[in-house]
Structure 1
Amino acid sequence: MIPKYRKQFNEEFSPEKYNQLKASLKQKSGIEPAFRISESPLFLTKTFEKKLIDASERIIDQIKALPTETLQKAVPENCNVPNDTDHSHFFTIDFGICRSENGEIEPQLIELQAFPSLYAFQKTFENTFCEIYPFLSEIKNPMPNDQFISYLKEVIVGDENPENVILLEIFPEQQKTAIDFALTEKLLGIKTVCLTKVKKEGKNLYYEHNGNLIPIKRIYNRVIFDELDRIPDLKTEFNFREEVDVKWITHPNWFFKISKYLLPLLKHQFVPKSYFLHEFPGNEDLGNYVLKPLFSFAGSGVNLNPTREITDAIQDKENYILQRKVHYEPIFEDINGEFSKAEIRLLYIWRENDERPILLENLGRMTKAAMVNVDFNKKDAIWIGSSNVFFGED
């Protein structure tokens, strides 16, 4: 798509420039990326972008219209956190880049979530692509850098002193997204704190810095709550289920409320038909569907070829969905004449007094494997891994 930019990029590409791209990201963050960086950005047309944004807006309309009690049903009782909010502070939505029956390239919804993605990293990644390949600046995200930072700061830091705002994660140095934590710290002046290091006195939370206990007023939460119970012998002073005097950014309940749980409830031409497993109609062909656990993360537990034997053996069928398969179209040509498939994640923020979320940035993922996830790529392939999308005139 957009042959002009694909041709120019492929002509200018070299292994030296790829190494320069990775070195620049490491220099800016102080951390080696723990996931594969794709050699290439994605080039998509303004026509495709319009389809993408229109679909997202209609999905947002439908979510906004859902009753509070419908969303609340998504939150497992043992994961419910006090002091919920009216809406999430983040909204991300994943679309596969597919080909329709009439031959048009179109987006198809894959997942959506109210969980912060790689906001700081993706903006840095986009800027770095433009530094290495200056011609990309003419089609970069039109939002100025300072406006992006201002939006992110308003949502995460708010009116608090950055010293009293933390990015919360469990063993952050072990996470694949650690590069985003480091860039967020630089961008916003906040500290990344491990859950095991949080101190609690009454309803107040603290973290230690240079021998002093610093009060925590806002938590930029990066902990996947339902994963905590899977960590053996995890010792913490603070339990998510306790009522504490902090502002959650975003509140942990929204991780469940805006998730795969919503897929069977959404209707749109770019939303594949989905069912809760216990409601799957007997006249549908299971071979046309992908089996997904509701609250897994990063592709974990997804079965691309479920059978009746597999689905019948699942006890908690209400915690799984079957989503109609979509066929990613390999349209992103590499320097060897081979093609990659891809998906795009739209990164929104949702300010507290706004009626709707604001689109800040995007994230691309490229693959030559069956699943579009950086963990499922072959090690010797190129044009795979984490990327960024540039939209240009058709």
Structure 2
Amino acid sequence: MIPSIRTAYNHQFTHQQYQDFLDGMASEAGEAAVFKVAETPVFIPAQLTAQLKQACDEIIAVIMRPDFKELTRDAIPHHLKVPHENDHPHFMVIDFAVCRDDDGTLTPRLIELQGFPSLYAFQELMARQFKTHFSIPDTVDNFFNGFNGDSYFQLLKEVIVGHYQPEEVILLEVKPDEQKTRIDFYYTERKLGIKPVCITELIQEGKKLYYENNGRKIQIRRMYNRVIFDDLHRQQDKLDKHVNLFQDLDVEWITHPNWFYRISKYILPFIHSEYAPKSWFLNELPVIPSDLENYVLKPLFSFAGQGVLIDVTLADIDKITDPENWILQHKVQYAPAIETPEGPAYCEIRMMYVWPDNSPAPLLVHNLARISKSKMIGVTQGQPQRWTGGSCAFFEEAL
């Protein structure tokens, strides 16, 4: 997207550099990524950087409304509510498609958002390895707000580990060693000293939780939560016996599971910004648009694009028996904004926030990018193409 940097990168790229880049990440994390990592980062020009920040500020203003919890009181399915919810999420991410205005100018459009952490450790590793193996100019940066690799991980340590010993904090997931994102778990452990633990390995005694580490039973004070609870609910019958996490437990959550639902597709209809496509709860839709081909239908409770209908028909709407659990959103037209040696590609940019307990507002710290040559970015669709996959962005400073 920054033509001079893009042209130079494409010209200098070699497959050996790319393999060395992949090997460098695997060496540091202890295992290679099992998902496709793109051959290139995304280079964001200053004007688009400014628009992304403005869009995020407008969305954050909604989340910081004094009545936000009341606004989202119905966002959490009753059977998935967890006790001891705190005042704000410790992590949240906001996803944008890169599009073009009518005049051809690049512009962001809100896709989704989550009160949930995703790949916070791995994204730093990826960006640093891009810098190590490719020529990334100093005029662009992967961090925001003055952070660098050291201060970034210091912040993560303060928020996730806090005043506890690392062995008293775990990364909680369902079968972490089988997850596609496990490289992030392993690198998190290397950087912060906290172990990935499966929900089936938790030991409950009264309200306290424990896990075994090298033959020692250790009380868990905090859980860095990577469990998606509606996915956990769907998998209940396939899992071994495990602790009921919906009860009153003497443990701290980072981030508390309820925020996954409060900050989600549920709040799209409440966001009014030039960078946010119009959205409605399906049960509150004043009239069904005559141009349904320009809309996308999204279930509230899904992840990784599951259940999303991108070519909506009246028949699709008629089939829905729980319209209160669906969002109709004006379709976003992705721009083929990234020039690769094998044709143009689309991309999404994820803006990544950390919200420490002592901070009045969330801090924008890092980013994630996804590059694709198909409509559904981030959804597994057979053998991945070259010059597509998970990536990161380097931003020109906003003017």
TM bucket (normalised to shorter chain) is over 0.9
Distance 1:180 1:137 in 2: 26
Confirm whether residue 304 of structure 1 aligns to residue 310 of structure 2. yes
- Cα distance, 1:134 vs structure 2: 3.8
Distance 2:242 2:43 in 1: 47
Q: Which runs of 5+ in 2 are unaligned?
A: none
Q: Which residue of 2 aligns with 1:339?
A: 344
Q: Which residue of 1 aligns with 2:33?
A: 33
Q: Is this contact kept in 1: 2:336–2:346, CA < 8 A?
A: yes
Confirm whether residue 241 of structure 1 aligns to residue 242 of structure 2. no
Provide TM-score, normalisation by structure 2: 0.95
Q: Deviations over 1:232-271 (max 9, x none)?
A: 2423341111111111001000010000000011100000
Q: Deviations over 1:287-346 (max 9, x none)?
A: 21101111211111111011111111111111110110011100111123x100001001
Identity of aligned residues (%): 44
Q: Pairwise mapping of residues 278-289 of structure 1 onto structure 2 (< 5 A)? A: 278-282=283-287, 284=289, 285-289=291-295
Q: Which residue of 1 aligns with 2:183?
A: 179
> CA RMSD of the aligned region, Å?
1.4
Q: Is this contact kept in 1: 2:62–2:68, CA < 8 A?
A: no
Q: Is this contact kept in 1: 2:9–2:135, CA < 8 A?
A: no
Q: Deviations over 1:183-204 (max 9, x none)?
A: 1001101111000000000000
Q: Is this contact kept in 2: 1:96–1:108, CA < 8 A?
A: yes
SS in 2 for 1:72: coil
Moved more, 6-15 or 277-286: 277-286
Q: Which residue of 1 aligns with 2:169?
A: 165
Q: Which runs of 5+ in 1 are unaligned?
A: none
SS in 2 for 1:310: helix
Q: Which residue of 2 aligns with 1:366?
A: 371
- Cα distance, 1:71 vs structure 2: 1.8
Q: Is this contact kept in 2: 1:365–1:374, CA < 8 A?
A: no
SS in 1 for 2:244: coil
Q: 1:330 to 1:211 in 2, by over 3 A?
A: same
Residue identity matched to 2:326: Y
Q: Which residue of 1 aligns with 2:359?
A: 354
- Cα distance, 1:101 vs structure 2: 2.0
Residue identity matched to 2:292: L
Distance 1:288 1:175 in 2: 34
- Cα distance, 1:353 vs structure 2: 2.2
- Cα distance, 1:273 vs structure 2: 0.2
Q: Which residue of 1 aligns with 2:10?
A: 10
Confirm whether residue 324 of structure 1 aligns to residue 330 of structure 2. yes
Q: Is this contact kept in 2: 1:129–1:136, CA < 8 A?
A: no
Q: Is this contact kept in 2: 1:290–1:325, CA < 8 A?
A: yes
Distance 2:225 2:378 in 1: 23
SS in 2 for 1:248: strand
Distance 2:38 2:382 in 1: 11
Q: Is this contact kept in 2: 1:334–1:382, CA < 8 A?
A: no
Q: Which runs of 4+ in 1 moved over 6 A?
A: none
Distance 2:233 2:51 in 1: 40
Moved more, 133-142 or 273-282: 133-142
Moved more, 24-33 or 116-125: 24-33
Distance 1:127 1:79 in 2: 38
Distance 2:296 2:136 in 1: 40
Provide TM-score, normalisation by structure 1: 0.97
Tell me which of 368, 376, 393 is aligned to 2:381. Answer: 376
Q: Aligned residues, how many?
A: 392
Q: 1:260 to 1:173 in 2, by over 3 A?
A: same
- Cα distance, 1:391 vs structure 2: 1.5
Q: Pairwise mapping of residues 1-394 of structure 1 onto structure 2 (< 5 A)? A: 1-65=1-65, 66-140=67-141, 141=143, 143-231=147-235, 232-282=237-287, 284=289, 285-336=291-342, 338-373=343-378, 375-376=380-381, 379=384, 381-392=385-396
Residue identity matched to 1:111: E
